[in-house]
Chains A and B, each alone.
Chain A
Amino acid sequence: MSGWLGSLIAMLVAANAFGVAHASAWYDRADSTPRTAAVRSGAVCALVLVGIGLAAAPLLSILDVSTHTFRLGAAAVVGISGAKAMLAPTKPITQVHDTREANLTVATLMLTPAPVLMALAVNSEAGTVTGLVAAATAGVTGVVGLASRRPPERVSEALVRLVGALGIVVGVIVGLDSARSV
């Protein structure tokens, strides 16, 4: 791998860029209960990412896929997810009714293919420590995103598109690096 920094960026982008903050429009509502639940489940999702990352070696062995090849697949997914975020950002979720729905919503926002695959790729190639740092950083930023009040929708959407573009760039860089690996 060309360096753990690229992977870290990829994790960051993948984990929190594609709609977590943007989609969390319900925080503007007076009821703080869903918000608290969302932050809690965001932390749980971050731990899940860490756990998934730690399972990288046996999982890739079961899949019969080498680490470099897996990284190429993960990069493609990050790039495509980035393109989707850039061209068609997720619509803000303006209402959640209860804690359960908040939990599910956060899980579906944070545990998408891009961050999960990148967590596996980072762990398998750059090692457990880097994987843990990457996943933890992704988790923390995701939770911070969830805890924050949503900025005005235009700003939020522009941010998501920008981060989506960054996801494309990261996907291309990681993909090319993988294609240049033995």
Chain B
Amino acid sequence: MRRTVTWLLVWLFTIAGLRVSLLAPEVCPDVSVTSTHAAAVAAADWIVNNQDGDGKYLYEWDLAIDGPTDAPYNLVRHAGTTMALYQFAAEGKLSYLGPADEGLAWMLDRLVGNDDVAAVAPTPTANAKLGTAALLTVGLVHRRQATGDTTYDTLIRQLGTMMVGQQRPDGSMLNFWDPQTESPVPDKTSLFATGEALWAVALLHNTWPEEGWDEPAWATLTYIATERDEDEDVWPKPWADQWAAYSLHEMATWGLDDEHIDYARSLSAQWGVATRWESQRNGGIDGLVHAPENIAAGQGTWMEGLGMMRQLAQLDDRLADLENDYSDRLACGAGRMIAKQRTGTGQVEVDGGFFVNGTTRVDGQQHVLSGLIFTERLLRERSGERTEETS
């Protein structure tokens, strides 16, 4: 009798303990093409409705003070947000071209460089960040794809030359470019910028295949896949770099090596686990066990990474076994973000925003917008509408 009671108690505590921790329900609200598209539009509207006349975006809004925070403006995030608007425009939402062009103009006012290279810096003498140049490049390429306009081709190549000039022999990229010396600042790298630059350079090769942009792209991809995490002291490995996912997808038809695919597998697992864990954070004890919640930008990057990996899996059989998992996690992440999006308040600083702990930052809308674009593609495919790329 005692043994049986003990056995029952062990079972009871095991089930209860697991149910509020590792095996808490994964709540993934249903998503549809309509709801996903509406959420993407709302996110993009948050960005453009809060844009200044000079093209600068509202950076961060705090519900507690019902006003902007004093967080310093960030050029890389400005470039990323502009890029996301161009991404949306390239999906056919051409009404966002105007606001994106205003964001572009704000960056063009801060161009530094010479006839050969270009970068963006907060002041003419301040160091320019690699990431700003990279995301500006990506945005311009998306603009080119959306409009067919070649006005900025020279600038795109100047930005590309600057980025390739930041590359070291091992494929790593230096983070700063000094406009005064017109050369890279030695020894300083960035966990974020290397992947951003890789994506930009890969896009350049796909835009102008005959110009040799693929060589530096290969070097940086292999560096990211094999050495970057060690150099940057990342744990757990690999660094959950959605920019690398964009890059892998961009390079999918170039003939990726097995080491790149192995990297892609381990990279995508980071977003899978993060999405599963976040989906178990549903208030009560679940909420405590799975706290703290990542900022919206972080959650958006998971969606971007999963979206790109899903499309990569459609192009490379070595990842085909993961396509369903990518799709499920992407849809789950999108459903949760849509449920969290603020709407209907009538306040432009709030409606369409993704608030975590009462604040939202512009890159929250940026990253989630990109993720929602990829989710909409998935849902359209599921409903029978194959995109051009995968048909």
**Do these two chains interact?**
yes
Binding site for B on A (CB under 8 A): 63-66, 68-70, 72-73, 76-77, 104-105, 107-108, 112-113, 179-182
Give, as a whole number of angstroms, the nearest-CB distance from B330 to chain A.
Answer: 10
- Complex alpha-carbon distance, A17 and B272, angstroms: 33
Which residues of B, 1-56, contact A by the 8 Å Cβ criterion? Answer: 3-4, 6-7, 10-11, 14-15, 18, 22-23, 25-27
Verify B10–A179 contact, CB threshold 8 A: no
Q: Could you list some 17 contacts between A and B, CB below 8 A?
A: A63-B23, A63-B25, A65-B25, A68-B273, A69-B22, A69-B26, A72-B22, A73-B18, A73-B22, A77-B14, A104-B4, A105-B3, A108-B7, A112-B7, A182-B273, A182-B322, A182-B329
Residues of B within 8 A of A181 (CB): 269, 272-273, 325
- Complex alpha-carbon distance, A45 and B207, angstroms: 64
Verify B269–A182 contact, CB threshold 8 A: yes
Verify B23–A65 contact, CB threshold 8 A: yes
Residues of A within 8 A of B22 (CB): 69, 72-73, 76
- Complex alpha-carbon distance, A72 and B269, angstroms: 14
* Interface residues of B, dominant DSSP: helix
Verify B325–A182 contact, CB threshold 8 A: yes
Give, as a whole number of angstroms, the nearest-CB distance from B179 to chain A.
Answer: 43
Binding site for A on B (CB under 8 A): 3-4, 6-7, 10-11, 14-15, 18, 22-23, 25-27, 266, 268-269, 271-273, 276, 280, 306, 309, 322, 325-326, 328-329
Residues of B within 8 A of A105 (CB): 3
- Complex alpha-carbon distance, A181 and B275, angstroms: 11
Residues of B within 8 A of A182 (CB): 268-269, 271-273, 306, 309, 322, 325-326, 329
Verify A66–B276 contact, CB threshold 8 A: yes
Residues of A within 8 A of B25 (CB): 63-65
Residues of B within 8 A of A64 (CB): 25-27
* Interface residues of A, dominant DSSP: helix
Give, as a whole number of angstroms, the nearest-CB distance from A23 to chain B.
Answer: 10
Residues of B within 8 A of A104 (CB): 3-4
Which one of A64, A72, A76, A107 has the greatest number of beta carbons of chain B within 10 Å? A64
- Complex alpha-carbon distance, A108 and B11, angstroms: 10
- Beyond contacts A105-B3, A179-B273: 8 other A-B pairs, Cβ-Cβ < 8 A, are A63-B23, A65-B26, A68-B276, A69-B280, A73-B18, A73-B22, A112-B7, A182-B272
- Complex alpha-carbon distance, A181 and B266, angstroms: 8
Residues of B within 8 A of A113 (CB): 10-11, 14-15
- Complex alpha-carbon distance, A107 and B4, angstroms: 9
Residues of A within 8 A of B326 (CB): 182
Give, as a whole number of angstroms, the nearest-CB distance from A113 to chain B.
Answer: 4
Verify A70–B276 contact, CB threshold 8 A: no
Instruction: Using CB atoms, name the residue of chain B closest to A76.
Output: B22
- Complex alpha-carbon distance, A66 and B332, angstroms: 11
Give, as a whole number of angstroms, the nearest-CB distance from B22 to chain A.
Answer: 4
- Complex alpha-carbon distance, A63 and B15, angstroms: 11
Give, as a whole number of angstroms, the nearest-CB distance from B153 to chain A.
Answer: 38
Verify B273–A108 contact, CB threshold 8 A: no
- Complex alpha-carbon distance, A181 and B277, angstroms: 12
Residues of B within 8 A of A76 (CB): 18, 22
State whether A69 and B23 are in contact (beta carbons under 8 Å apart), knowing that A77-B14, A181-B272, A182-B326 are contacts in the complex: yes
State whether A112 and B276 are in contact (beta carbons under 8 Å apart), knowing that A73-B18, A182-B322, A182-B326 are contacts in the complex: no
Shortest Cβ-Cβ A-B pairs, 4 listed: A182-B272, A64-B25, A108-B7, A73-B22
Residues of B within 8 A of A112 (CB): 7, 10
Give, as a whole number of angstroms, the nearest-CB distance from B335 to chain A.
Answer: 13
Verify B4–A66 contact, CB threshold 8 A: no
Residues of B within 8 A of A179 (CB): 269, 273
- Complex alpha-carbon distance, A182 and B329, angstroms: 8
Residues of A within 8 A of B15 (CB): 113
Verify B7–A69 contact, CB threshold 8 A: no
Residues of A within 8 A of B10 (CB): 112-113
Give, as a whole number of angstroms, the nearest-CB distance from A20 to chain B.
Answer: 13
- Complex alpha-carbon distance, A181 and B309, angstroms: 13
- Complex alpha-carbon distance, A65 and B276, angstroms: 9
Verify B4–A108 contact, CB threshold 8 A: yes
Give, as a whole number of angstroms, the nearest-CB distance from B349 to chain A.
Answer: 35
